[in-house]
Amino acid sequence: MFKQKPLAAAVSLAVWSLATVPAIAQDAQPVPMQTVEVTGIRASMAKSLAVKRDATANVEVITAEDVGKMPDKNLADSLQRLAGVAVRTDYDEAEKVSMRGTNPDMSLIIFNGHAVSSADWYVADQGSSSRSTSLSLMPSHVLNQAIVYKTSQANIVDGGLAGTINVTTRKPLSQKERVSGVISVGGSYVELADKYAPDMNGSVTWKNEANTFGVIASLFSEKRFVRRDSVSRFAYGTSSGWDVINTTTMLGITDASLAGTGYKASDLNGVRLPGSMSSEFVESVRDRKGGMIALQYKPNNQLDVNLTGFHSSLDADNHGRLTSSAIYSMLLGKNHPLGNTGAAAINTAGVDGQRVYAQIRNPVIVNETTVYGHQLKVLKAADIVFPDGTPPQYVGNSEGFFRDGANATSSFLDLDAKYRVNDDLTVKTLLSASRGVGRTDLDQGLTLARYGTGISYALGGLHDAPYVKYQGAGSNQPGLNADGSGYRIVDRAASGIRTEDKEWSAQFDAEYKLGRGVLQSLESGVRIAEHKRTSGRRGPAFRAGLIDGTTGALTPSAITPTTGWAPYPGDFGDGLGGGFWDNSGFTYTREATKAYIAANTKVTSPEWERRVSSEIDMRERQSAGYLMANLEGERWSGNVGLRFVRTNVKANIVTPVAPRTACLRVEPGKPAVTCAAFPGTITTAGDAVAYYDGVPFNPSSGTMYYKTPTDRDFDNWLPSVNLRYEITKDMIGRFGASRTIGRQNYNILGSGFGTPTCDANGCRVTGPNPDLEPMTADNLDLSWGWYFAPRSAVTVSVFHSRLKGYPKTGATAGSTVELTDPRDNQVKTFAINTASQQGAKISGIELSYEQPFGKTNFGFTSNVSRAKTKVDDGRPMVGASEWAGNLGLYYEDDKLSTRLVANYRGDYVNSSTAPSPTANSQGLSTINGVLMPTAPTYADGVTTLAFNLNYYITQNIELAFSATNLTNAKRAQYRYSEQEQQKLDVSGRQYFLNLRYKF
């Protein structure tokens, strides 16, 4: 099947789209270029290239001369336009930035020279404890300039293993007018959600006549509704993803059931099959509000003092539904309504009451070559059905959820002062405080089991929704039919999460001019910072249980709500392609979901709702000092420096009490009791233990926890050198060498223990490794730039990094802990499966080319980058795209400014940016007798297209229109190969229209 390269498709569309622009602009009668003041896109490009050209280090630059000249809604949108920069996107808004083929955790984003505590709106990200900065809270118009340091130097804040991005905000005394400002009023429209929302922001600048004191104040309120349609392999039970056929346990697969297909039962052994076929519909809101204030006092040329405060809050309540099948349970003859396939789980029952197994009919088997080069077989299509005449059995689930109070906030306050003591000595100080909070007040949902007689499916291409059809399952609405088909409630859940990230820092820098030969000046400084990260979940107590968790037997409380629901939207899945497939489904409304949870939960106490097992409680202190010499000779300049960094990590690690009966849990409302055996045990927390009405309280139920403190110091020396050489007046060469560090994610250092398992090979449990050292990278960079005309440049960079300390999760570090064996409640020694460290390499090349088209008002920007990564254990590096690229075409005159931008990002492993230390996330799996690496989840390459147009109605009134995701790109995921489709989703096109008044 022909598959057009995504970047080629975007380029073709971009060129075709702009072909009509000359006709639009031909009546504008632009004034000859030599008499026009260059503003807007051209001014921003000229200034960015000037900064890039003059910098000693290898940098990329974004400069915002005018607001709104790019189709960007936040800083990540803007940064992805640069060579070597890629973003992770959620609902088609860029959020997290990665550099040079690395994970977002390895890039450091600072504001005005200091770190910023960020937060996440999505519940899974809120609990991941990643170090990556979410830029969804940072609207693009707060930007004054962003400098992306691809090579490091000693006076840059440490922590950016792959690079550092310093975002600076505007200063009032740099503005031209004494009083000026902009007011923008407009709205957004999202095609898939089919909803409009308001969009307003404004800023005002004032400074005194003496130009010694000024203020900038800005406010923003930007809202949009979003929707995502998906198909995936997610479901409940033992196998919710991909697994293999085993005819010794899937007894319905026989030679007789396969008669006429050309296959025998033995031919299907080891064939990979999807454990589920699922569809998902999610609606959400992005309501971002906040503001910034900047004060500047500069009484003379010796003193410059700036105070900047910023706050942003993003409300992102989200509501959706998942409909999924349970192929694995059907083949194993299990009827547990949540997919449990354990020995005690309920079995299926045929007409005679005997256990019955689903059969595989009409199989279509294809061969695949995995990303590791192994050969596997995949069941591409089949009918998974129970024998004719079988009454309805468990065939899947439907889950509805409403995440109420989903919110993220980020704030910072910084004070910086620069004082020129004399002609030779300048000192600077920077004090900052930052706080970010991500929370979901209540993640609440209902789960229903579906009953029928089978499911048929056929996988198509990676970018097409699969054919899916349920058999004998009745209409798609809650409630059972007379024949036993349909839905019944089997589970409900409710919990909230709150993650807080705080940092304060202080630094002092000095520069002394020497002017002795090549040694121009010396810079030195010190910095201290304290960072705190806390995270924890809470959940209310339910009044009664719905099923027996082991067997799956229902209780009298399992009464299925048959009102308060609505079907999926009529256009659900239209953008996913794939022809006919079951795109029906239903969802309980937000109000009905909230009402059900409220009626079935009860008030206990904040302490009882606490779930200690999920908590992270850490403090990290950073201290650093540096010395850097600035050098300059004939046609060359540079710097050489050394930075010393000490990282102190204190983590309070949640540890289970063993044996479980050593401490007694305190019933809600009763006085706290200290446990003599483990004095630090938190006896008042419920940790999701059942506390049902009318059931006697059991103080020995569940697991209780105490916290084990750890304290580690890590020291790192970070040398760096940067050299810049003017080959000719317009041609610049650069060389950079440095050592950088990146600190490990918080959950690997300080998460609790989980998933204890014991078998014939012993007992194991996942857990943290507080001994992990920070990652280090030894970096080399060589670049060449030719600035051959105004707003024109060709640049090439080649780079290589050798990483030490890259985390390898799922390793046994040799540490043990005493825990209770869940099989017999006996205390045993458990080996801790945790994270160890290994090496990795990154090598790559970046090419940028931008230029106006002759003396016309047209021009283009372009870049492409390739980064090859190699991890010692042969696994792919998480979050690393080998290819990334941009192509932008623009037109601008004194009335009209327009830009069309295509962005491409190649395949990458899209596991969480903060992978938990799970036992097998980077381990091995045996498939068909072949030991191979466990399959990660890959995001397929994707091209997006965005457009922006600004029209000046008058000198002070501007109409701005922008559109993103113009091609309604499908985002696909897969496992071992493209034959194993994992997920496919679309979010629709988004449009923004604003009227701006400048004064």
Report whether pLDDT(42) > 90.
no
Percentage above 90 pLDDT, the chain: 69
pLDDT at 31: 36
Taking Cα atoms as reference points, which of 742, 759, 795, 757 lies closest to residue 919? 757
Structure letter (DSSP) for residue 992: E
- Of the listed ranges 113-122, 212-221, 924-933, the one predicted with least confidence: 924-933
* CB 213, CB 297: distance < 8 Å: yes
* Residue type (1 letter), 633: G
Taking Cα atoms as reference points, which of 700, 663, 648, 231 lies closest to residue 461? 231
Residue 992: partners with Cβ closer than 8 Å, 6 or more residues away: 73, 186, 187, 188, 189, 199, 960, 961, 962, 963
Q: What are phi and psi of 483, to 5 degrees?
A: -85, 5
* CB 972, CB 981: distance < 8 Å: yes
Determine the Cα angle at 136 with ends 434 and 197, to 5°: 125
Percentage above 70 pLDDT, the chain: 92
Token pair belonging to 319: 């509501």
Report whether pLDDT(20) > 70.
no
pLDDT at 35: 33
- Residue ranges of the alpha helices (H) in 692-823? 746-750
Query: Which residue has 């999924």 as its token pair?
Result: 324
* CB 145, CB 79: distance < 8 Å: no
| Gap between the Cα atoms of 811 and 341, Å rounded | 27
937-963 per-position pLDDT tens digit: 899 999 999 999 999 999 999 999 999
| Gap between the Cα atoms of 59 and 734, Å rounded | 10
* CB 126, CB 746: distance < 8 Å: no
Report whether pLDDT(21) > 60.
no
The sign of the dihedral angle between the CA atoms of 973, 976, 978, 981 is: negative
| Gap between the Cα atoms of 570 and 564, Å rounded | 18
DSSP secondary structure of 579-599:
SS-----EEE-HHHHHHHHHH
Token pair belonging to 587: 């969802």
Report whether pLDDT(997) > 60.
yes
3-state secondary structure 502-528: EEEEEEEEEEEEEEECCEEEEEEEEEE
Residues in the chain, how many?
999
Tally Cβ neighbours within 10 Å of residue 929.
6
End-to-end, the C-alpha distance of the chain in Å comes to 57
- Of the listed ranges 68-72, 642-646, 690-694, the one predicted with least confidence: 68-72
* Residue type (1 letter), 815: S
- Of the listed ranges 383-397, 437-451, 810-824, 912-926, the one predicted with least confidence: 912-926
Q: Answer with the residue of higher pLDDT: 10 or 727.
A: 727
421-433 per-position pLDDT tens digit: 999 999 999 999 9
pLDDT at 915: 52
Overall average pLDDT of the 666-689 stretch: 93
Query: Which residue has 């623009």 as its token pair?
Result: 890
497-526 per-position pLDDT tens digit: 999 999 999 999 999 999 889 999 999 999
* CB 786, CB 795: distance < 8 Å: yes
265-310 per-position pLDDT tens digit: 999 999 999 999 999 989 999 999 999 999 999 999 999 999 999 9
Chain centroid to CA 70: 23
| Gap between the Cα atoms of 332 and 386, Å rounded | 11
Q: Answer with the residue of higher pLDDT: 325 or 825.
A: 325
* CB 510, CB 523: distance < 8 Å: yes
Helix (H) or strand (E) holding 16: helix 6-18
Taking Cα atoms as reference points, which of 810, 807, 796, 817 lies closest to residue 840? 807
Report whether pLDDT(326) > 70.
yes
| Strands annotated E in 692-747 | 705-728, 731-742
* CB 840, CB 806: distance < 8 Å: yes
Taking Cα atoms as reference points, which of 107, 122, 39, 123 lies closest to residue 75? 107
Report whether pLDDT(86) > 90.
no
Chain centroid to CA 828: 38
813 pLDDT tier (thresholds 50, 70, 90): low
